[in-house]
Chain A
Amino acid sequence: MRPRISTQTSNKTYALILSILILSFLLIPIPVLAQQDTLPPSPPTEVKAEDTPNDAGGSITIIWKKSADDIGVVRDDNKVKGYEILRSTRTDGEYELLGKTTAGAESYFDSHARNNIDYFYKIRALGLVSLSESLPSQPVKAKAQWVDWSRKYTFLLALILALSIVYFINQSKTGKELFIRKIAGLEAVTDAVGRATEMGRKIFYIPGISDMDNMQTIAGVTILGQVAKITAEYEAKLEVPTSRSLVMVSCRETIKEAYSNAGRPDLFNENMVYYLTDDQFGYTAAVDGLFVREKPAAIFFQGQFYAESLILAETGNYVGAIQIAGTGQPAQLPFFVAACDYTLIGEELFAASAYLSRDPKLLGSLKGQDVGKFIFLFFILVGSILLAFGVYDLRVFLR
C-alpha cells in the first residue's frame, strides 16, 4: 500500500506545477488575442476571375493574392483563419457565400456558375473574430468551349492509330500476307505433343475458367485448334476439361475441324471435351484430381486464369508434365513462368491466336497496334537523345 501514498504526494506537487503552468498559458495569449482582435486582417488583393478553360462551362476559376497578414500555413499564430468566396451578379449587389477555403489558399473553383451570365467575386479574409473584404473582381462569364485544345495531340494520335488499324484490317481482308514474328511457346507445341505420343500418355488442354465472351478464352480456343492439328498428326490422346458449357461447345467444334483438316476425322471423339463445373475451386479440384490420376505428359494452359493457375500448374509440374501456358492476366503470369516450361506472355497470347487463325480483324489490329508501339518506341529513343543533348523536348507532343 505504500507506493500509493507516495504517488499521492507527488500528485499534489504535480497538480501545483500544472496549475501554475496552465495559468501562465492562459495569461500569455491574452495580449496576443487582444492584438489580433482589434485589427482585422488586411484584405486579399488582385482578385481575378476567369472562365475555366477547355470545359463545358459552368465553372469559373478565381485567383487572388493572399492577405498580407497570411503567413501561408494553417497555424494558431496565423492571423488569417481562412477565406470565404462571395459571388454576385452585380458589382454593388448582394453577394452570396459560395464556399470556404483554408488559410494560405490563393485559388478557388466555382463549379456552380451558369453559362453566359456576368459574375463578380469578392474574397473575404477571416480573422479570429473580425474580417475584411477584397475589392470585387472584373465581371466574368462561364462559357462552354467548342474544342478542348489541350487534347489536340491525343486526337492526332488516336486518329493515326484508328486509321492504321482500319487500314491493316482491310489489307488483311483483301488477302495480303501480314508478317508476324515467330512465337517461342508455339514452337514448343510439337515437341510436347511428340513426347506425349512416345510416352503413350494423355495431353490436357485447359482453356481457362472464363466464358466465350472473353477475348483470352477465344484466343485460347484458337490455339487449341493448332494443338489439335498436331495431336491428330501424331495420333496423341487429347483431353479438354472445361468450366463453361459454351466453351465446351466451341472446343468441340474447333477440335473436330482441326481433325478433319488433318485428315483424321476418325480420331475425333466428342468425349475428348467435357464440362466439369462452373465453380472456380470445384473445377480446380476436379482438374487437379485428373492430373494426379492420368499423369499427362503435356499440359496446356491457354486463356483467362485467376487464382487457380497456381494450384493447377503446381500439380502439373509435380506429375512431371511439360507445361505450356499463356495468359494476359498479369497477376498470374509470374506463377506460370516459374512453374511451366514455356509461357506466352500477355499480348503474345493474342498474337499467337491471330497468327494461327489468320482472322483479318485480329491480324489487322495487331499490325495497327504495332504502329502505335512504333510511334512510342520512336518517341522514347529520339526523345531521350534530343533531351539529353538539350536540343528539343519531344514531350510536348505527348501531353
Chain B
Amino acid sequence: MVETIGIWIAAILTLGIFSFLYKDNPFYKFCESLFVGVSAGYWFATTFWQVMMPKLVDNLAAGRWIYIIGGIFGILMLLRLFPKIGWISRWSLALVVGTTAGLYFTRYLVSNGMVQTENTIMPIFVTGNLPQTIGNLVIVVGTFCGLVYFFFSKEHKGTFGGFAKVGIWFIMVSFGASFGYTVMSRMSLLLGRLDYLFGTWLGLIK
C-alpha cells in the first residue's frame, strides 16, 4: 500500500516536471520548488549526521579541543546571513579558497600539464599496427596544433597560423565526440524516466 502510494506520488511529480515541455506552468513550479526544498533538506540532514557529528561533535566530545577552531570558523561562515557583520565570513572563505588554491597550484600543473605532455611524447612507430601508428602521430600533431591555437602571444599567420587551423579541427572533432556522448547521456536519462512511468508505474513493461 505504502509502496503503491509512493509510486503514484513519484509518477505524478515526474509528469509535473515533464509538463514544462508544453509550457512553463504552476504545476511545474510546484514540483521544482519542492525539489529545491527537498534537496536542501537532504543536504542539511546528511551534512549533520555524516560530517558535523563525526568530525566536530565527536572530536570535541573526545576532548580534542583543537577542533573548536573549525567550529569557530564555521560559525563565522554563517554570519554571512547578517549583512552588517557578514564581512567576517570572509575569514572562513579565505581558508576554503587558500586550501583549494594551494592544492590546485601543484596538482593541476602535474596531472593535466606535465603528465599529459609526457605522454604526448611517445615512440610513434608501432611495427605491424598501422592504425596505432597513425593514431600516435595524430595525438602528437593534434595536441601540438591544438595548443598552438590557444597560444595568444603570436598572430595566427603563415606556418604558425596553419598549425592553429589544424588545431581547431582537432578541437572540433573533440567537440563532436562530446556532442555525441552528451546526446547519449540525455537520451539514457529520458529512457530511465519513461521506463519508470510505463514500467514501474503503469506496469506495461515487463
Contact = CB atoms under 8 A, between A and B. Distances in A.
A169 interface: no
Interface string A366-378: 1100101110110
B179 A335 contact: yes
A344 to B, nearest CB: 12
A384 B150 CA distance: 20
Interface in B32-87: 32, 36
A348 B172 CA distance: 15
B153 A383 contact: no
A181 B109 contact: no
Interface string A328-343: 0011011101100000
A23 to B, nearest CB: 42
Interface string B136-161: 00001001100110111111100000
Contacts of B140: 380, 384
Contacts of A333: 175, 178
A398 B151 contact: no
Interface residues of A, number: 44
Given A366-B152, A367-B153, A380 B109 contact: no
A187 interface: no
A285 B106 CA distance: 41
Contacts of B188: none
Contact of A181 (B36, B105, B120, B152): B152
B24 interface: yes
Contacts of A374: 151
Contact of B32 (A281, A376, A399): A281
A212 to B, nearest CB: 14
A352 to B, nearest CB: 10
B175 to A, nearest CB: 4
A377 B144 contact: yes
B176 to A, nearest CB: 7
A154 B110 contact: yes
Contacts of A321: none
B151 A387 contact: no
B11 interface: no
Instruction: Please tell me the size bucket of the interface on B.
Output: 35 or more
B122 interface: yes
Given A181-B152, A377-B148, A379-B117, A334 B124 contact: no
A281 B20 contact: yes
Contacts of A153: 114
A240 interface: no
B144 A387 contact: no
Given A158-B106, A334-B179, A337-B175, A380 B144 contact: yes
A65 to B, nearest CB: 33
A377 B32 contact: no
A336 to B, nearest CB: 9
A157 interface: yes
B121 A380 contact: yes
Nearest to A351: B152
Contacts of A370: 151-153
A183 B113 CA distance: 24
B87 to A, nearest CB: 15
Contacts of A294: none
Contacts of A394: 121
Contacts of A279: 32, 36
B166 interface: no
A373 B167 CA distance: 14
Nearest to A285: B24
Contacts of A285: 20, 24
Nearest to A348: B150
Nearest to B149: A345
B132 interface: no
Interface string B95-127: 000000000011001100111011011111100
A335 B117 CA distance: 28
Contact of B147 (A282, A373, A395, A398): A373
Given A351-B152, A373-B151, A388-B124, 12 more contacts: A153-B114, A281-B32, A331-B182, A334-B179, A370-B152, A373-B150, A380-B120, A384-B140, A387-B121, A387-B122, A388-B123, A398-B121
18 contacts: A154-B114, A158-B106, A161-B109, A181-B152, A282-B29, A331-B178, A333-B175, A334-B182, A337-B172, A338-B179, A370-B151, A373-B147, A376-B113, A380-B120, A383-B121, A384-B121, A388-B125, A395-B118
- Closest 8 A-B residue pairs measured CB to CB? A398-B118, A383-B121, A334-B179, A334-B175, A285-B24, A370-B153, A398-B114, A376-B117
